[in-house]
Structure 1
């Protein structure tokens, strides 16, 4: 795990190395200052001249300035290193997610990925800063101060070796108890973020059903759950402070008592006031070092689980990979399903698609219709390799899709998904997702074909109109038409419209289909629809039922021979007649 995280340091290795060096110099100087101060006190006691005091004072001022300078620079480099490390972690996670297949995405919840890229990365960032700064300073300070305490105090310094084991045992127990709680709480963080995400995305539904109170209670429950676990963990970690204070006071009482007794009695010949002041200073240094080490342990305890969750995302390998010698050319838009079966998970008890055999010629227009849950969308998702078939072979242009370069294949298969997604930005920027180099004229042409140009022209800023996040400032039908135009700009060999005209009226739907037929005669067009009117003009219509093909034929053939198609047609035709009265 450490190696995986270390790869994200990259260009910040230099400042990550400089920081411990500066901290080491700061610690060395801080440990020398009490020694010089003790020497000065002893010289003053023995009646030294003013020049000697001034010289020692100048040395102390210079050393204090150097210590301050090294500490300040180390603080700056540590901040640069930790923030840069966090930036690279988020970048590596995001890039990794971009390479995920749909199967990988299904493994992680969206809310969990957001938590990992925000809260978890912040925890690791803070831990990293402490590792390259505090975790270096505290042990060095502990060692140097301990050595100097022996030099200055002799046997008196053994008190530190007596206290340390008790402190180590106490910290170990605290970490052992707290770690499982932190593992538990981060999973509940995911649930909390999921509640927030669902509420914000479904705000219009929440308000239309007046369910604010219900959502507030659901959020409160998730928040209370997180709070309760964090409280339990923090209560355990809170013992860290009293434990440190107890050890500190034990050492202080011993040093003050034994040191004072040694000076007052005849033994003071070997132990003077300067040494006593120095040993007190080193006492504080040692105990503060132990306090800082305990803080590092606490932070690492919290960040350890976060680090595991981050590495899980970075190391997740896409289930979709290019073959060793991929094919970079798609000959045509022909599609073939040969004994194809598919299930989303290996643990699934039944196949979502079963024994699909289908041949589609290049340039054909194919309609797909069927009830909800009949696996219409699943079928077409195998064409651009959004998923791989569990059994059988899917071919495009006569070649197994698994033999193509993924980017090449997906550039030749344009797919307008059920959930139409627009990104924050102008209409032009959204359209150029289809072709980043498209000219304004090409944008307008594609929008005219998708019947989007008319409503775009009515906006005050036209194609420069800003689309809000999720496309909330345009209607569902407008979003669909913009997404269709975006797909047309790819000029693909296969165009898949997955229920992409459900929010437009039948007249506009017919215009779009006619435009596609005339504009893209050589492109294979697959239209998934709920309305039979959307697929009536197709060369062939596929009727799906329960993950299998129930029937294939023209509108007239299916109307005469296929029970499912006939039921759908007459139920919709009746509804259409009634609505037209």
Structure 2
């Protein structure tokens, strides 16, 4: 920011300097011509003085116009960003259908994915079936493709090659409204609004949810224990981005949202990585409630949080390298066992 500000000031100063030099040069030429005219008695002394005074008065307006150009250029640069966003193509969605409830089955068939403008693929030849009600954890080093895989399920990005099926239907054939109504996401960075606790649990499509359902969701997420200690309970404002809450409390509100939505597919994206041990324990208790009867995908760096998963999928450089339960993968002494050993000894 400092370097950019210095660059802006230098550019602005140079533009004013150059314009004033040009103006002064032009004024000098005009005075020379006027002096020649005066020597030849083609112009009176009063006319010469009037012309010189008028020319001198042009300096200040020209300088102000140069400064206006600085603001104009900054505005054009900002406008370019705004119009680039406005001009982006809207998401393509098949015609709306009935908001049917999915069973939660997910099938990846030789799936490949690459981000726009990237030469190397983020995901390569992913083949995996997740049955309804199954809890599957995805682990691996940063950049292994875990979050990329999760972002394909709600169709935030389109599959480059292969197929992603939800309840044996290609995701490209499902209306976005129907697809996303059946998916709940709990991410590490919880988005909260400067509103009451109740409004943050029930927002968007769930804004008209009955009070008793909001309370039930908060209780199931183990959030009522801190909500009841607030001055106005569920009606207590939590500040911009939930600044009045701790990290664990914000996560439990996010889980309460997912419980209220009651979606059959839940994506839990590294939501406990920044929590202390006590907060993580509370969130884990909430998860045990949340995963009942739902297909759950858990992305986690802390391997201790996924030991109870039905299956653990180990990813490396966009590929699946190991699949199995915690005990099986430890016995294999492969990549998962090494990751687990590093975390336990670290």
Structure-2-length-normalised TM-score: 0.78
Find the counterpart in structure 1 of residue 79 from structure 2.
310
Q: Return the match for 1:343 from 98, 110, 114.
A: 114
Q: Write the distance in 1 (CA, Å) between the matches of 2:251 and 2:170.
A: 31
Q: Write the distance in 2 (CA, Å) between the matches of 1:297 and 1:231.
A: 10
2:336 corresponds to 1:554: no
Find the counterpart in structure 1 of residue 336 from structure 2.
565
Find the counterpart in structure 2 of residue 227 from structure 1.
9
How far apart are 1:383 and its partner, in Å?
Answer: 0.7
Change (3 A) 1:314 1:354: same
Q: Is the 8 A contact 2:196 2:236 kept in 1?
A: yes
Change (3 A) 1:289 1:516: same
How far apart are 1:566 and its partner, in Å?
Answer: 2.7
Show the 5 A alignment for 1:119-198.
Answer: 192=1
Q: Return the match for 1:441 from 197, 200, 212.
A: 212
Q: Is the 8 A contact 2:270 2:300 kept in 1?
A: yes
Find the counterpart in structure 2 of residue 40 from structure 1.
none
Q: Which 10-residue stretch deviates more, 565-574 or 394-403?
A: 565-574
Q: Write the distance in 1 (CA, Å) between the matches of 2:257 and 2:151.
A: 18
Q: Is the 8 A contact 1:334 1:396 kept in 2?
A: yes
Find the counterpart in structure 1 of residue 181 from structure 2.
411
Q: Which of the pair has more CA radius of gyration?
A: 1
Q: Return the match for 1:423 from 193, 207, 221.
A: 193
Q: Deviations over 1:177-234 (max 9, x none)?
A: xxxxxxxxxxxxxxx2xxxxxxxxxxxxxxxxxxxxxxxxxx4x44333322222223
Q: Write the distance in 1 (CA, Å) between the matches of 2:254 and 2:32.
A: 72
Find the counterpart in structure 2 of residue 371 from structure 1.
141
Which one has the bigger helix percentage? Answer: 1
2:285 corresponds to 1:514: no
How far apart are 1:409 and its partner, in Å?
Answer: 2.5
Q: Deviations over 1:481-539 (max 9, x none)?
A: 22222233322231111111331535324411221134xx1x32111122333223322
Q: Write the distance in 1 (CA, Å) between the matches of 2:100 and 2:333.
A: 35
Q: Write the distance in 2 (CA, Å) between the matches of 1:376 and 1:464.
A: 37
Show the 5 A alignment for 1:111-510.
Answer: 192=1, 219=2, 221-239=3-21, 242=24, 299=68, 303=72, 306-307=75-76, 309-316=78-85, 317-318=87-88, 321-323=91-93, 325=95, 329=99, 331-332=101-102, 333-348=104-119, 350-433=120-203, 435-502=206-273, 503=275, 505=277, 507-510=281-284
Change (3 A) 1:235 1:487: farther
Q: Write the distance in 2 (CA, Å) between the matches of 1:251 and 1:325.
A: 76
How far apart are 1:380 and its partner, in Å?
Answer: 0.4
Q: Write the distance in 2 (CA, Å) between the matches of 1:396 and 1:307.
A: 44
Q: Deviations over 1:107-154 (max 9, x none)?
A: xxxxxxxxxxxxxxxxxxxxxxxxxxxxxxxxxxxxxxxxxxxxxxxx
Q: Write the distance in 2 (CA, Å) between the matches of 1:530 and 1:413.
A: 22
Q: Write the distance in 2 (CA, Å) between the matches of 1:449 and 1:300.
A: 59
Change (3 A) 1:392 1:235: farther
Structure-1-length-normalised TM-score: 0.49
Q: Is the 8 A contact 2:217 2:257 kept in 1?
A: yes
Q: Secondary structure at the match of 1:458?
A: coil
RMSD: 3.8
How far apart are 1:247 and its partner, in Å?
Answer: 9.1
Show the 5 A alignment for 1:39-58.
Answer: none
Q: Which 10-residue stretch deviates more, 290-299 or 534-543?
A: 290-299
Q: Write the distance in 2 (CA, Å) between the matches of 1:408 and 1:248.
A: 75
Q: Which runs of 5 or more residues in structure 1 are unaligned?
A: 1-191, 193-218, 262-275, 576-581
Q: Is the 8 A contact 2:195 2:237 kept in 1?
A: yes
Find the counterpart in structure 1 of residue 316 from structure 2.
545
Q: Is the 8 A contact 1:328 1:404 kept in 2?
A: no
Q: Is the 8 A contact 2:146 2:315 kept in 1?
A: yes
Q: Write the distance in 1 (CA, Å) between the matches of 2:228 and 2:291.
A: 24
- How many residues end up aligned between the 2 structures? 333
Q: Write the distance in 2 (CA, Å) between the matches of 1:225 and 1:297.
A: 17
Q: Write the distance in 2 (CA, Å) between the matches of 1:243 and 1:433.
A: 65
Q: Write the distance in 1 (CA, Å) between the matches of 2:202 and 2:253.
A: 11
Change (3 A) 1:465 1:562: farther
